[in-house]
Amino acid sequence: MVIRHGRNLVVADDSRRLIPCLFRQNLGQLVCGDRVIWRHTGDDEGVVTALLPRTSLLSRPDYSGHAKALAANLTQLLVVAAAEPPPTGYLLDQYLVAAENIGVEAVLLLNKADLLTPNHPLRRTAALYSEIGYRVVEVSSKKMTGMQQLRQLLQQQTSILVGQSGVGKSSLVKALLPDLEVVIGRLSQTSGLGKHTTSYATLYFLPQSGALIDSPGVRSFRLAITGRRQLEMGFREFHDYLGQCQFSNCSHQQEPGCALTNAVAAGEIAAWRLRHFQQMAKRLERQ
């Protein structure tokens, strides 16, 4: 398993021992989370000889618009939101669309539960996400409440935390990985990257089971949506209505006989979910 990637690759073996490895150029781009075949070339070094098939791939567009792979074999996206700073629903929905598109489960993680009053509007938003089939988990990395449930959620999974700045992602990582500094130190030594270690996507094994992939780049990851069909599929409660519009090429903006607009009028789909879809679709057209 590739736990660090950059110019310097570090592989973890089954007993989680870290081995710096060389890899052949013809293997293509190896990323954090990749599973590989490798062999020892010395006591403390190895060579990667093959890349195993990936179950998912997270990538982001680089400055020239090309997709750059960030992490592989992710199974779960934890979308973090908090009462402070208040979430922009649009951003939450973007993350959920991204998760649907790369085929990984998304969970809404409400951090700073200590600030969530019983009637807080965020609870209403969360209830709707729960209704359309997303798991919602409340935690407080400050008061350490809900942490047991969060740890359970992370078992057997490879997860990442995403969400806007200030919602408590780094606090959560610290809470989940109490020996983070030690691990980073060990990795810096193994990879020869020194202090730059944290600027690359890194896979951290969690104390019980499961892993967390983290880096500033991963935390602020956003998917570039490439087509309207992809966007439609990203809204899971829309699925049953797709193909039911009067016009087969309906853009769900203001056409007559739009099944989604009708579903909103009938109270079956939240108006703001359709609005976010429409905003994302407009942005897509401008690309």
The beta strands (E) that lie in 195-259 are given as 202-205, 211-214
Strands 105-111 and 76-82: what pairing?
parallel
- Cβ–Cβ < 8 Å for 203, 1: yes
**Angle 217-208-166 from CA coordinates, rounded to 5°:** 35
Please tell me whether residue 269 binds Zn ion under the rule CB under 5 A: no
Q: Is residue 250 at the binding interface for Zn ion, with CB under 5 A as the rule?
A: yes
Instruction: Using DSSP, state whether 31 is helix, strand or coil.
Output: coil
Q: Between 210 and 249, how does the x/- string for binding to Zn ion read (CB under 5 A)? A: -----------------------------------x----
Preceding omega of 207 cis (within 30 degrees of 0):
no
The DSSP bridge partners found for residue 61 are 67
Query: According to CB under 6 A, which one of 26, 165, 249, 254 is a site residue for ligand GDP?
Result: 165
169-188 residues in contact with ligand GDP (CB under 6 A) are: 169-171
> Which of residues 160 and 245 has its CB atom nearest to Zn ion in the complex?
245
Is 258 a binding residue for Zn ion by CB under 5 A? The answer is yes
Q: How far is the CB of 106 from Zn ion (least distance, A)?
A: 24
Residue closer to ligand GDP by CB (options 28, 216) is 216
Work out which of 114, 179, 181, 240 binds ligand GDP, going by CB under 6 A.
Answer: 114
Pairing of strands 36-42, 18-23: unpaired
Q: Contact residues for ligand GDP (CB under 6 A)?
A: 111-112, 114-115, 140-142, 165-171
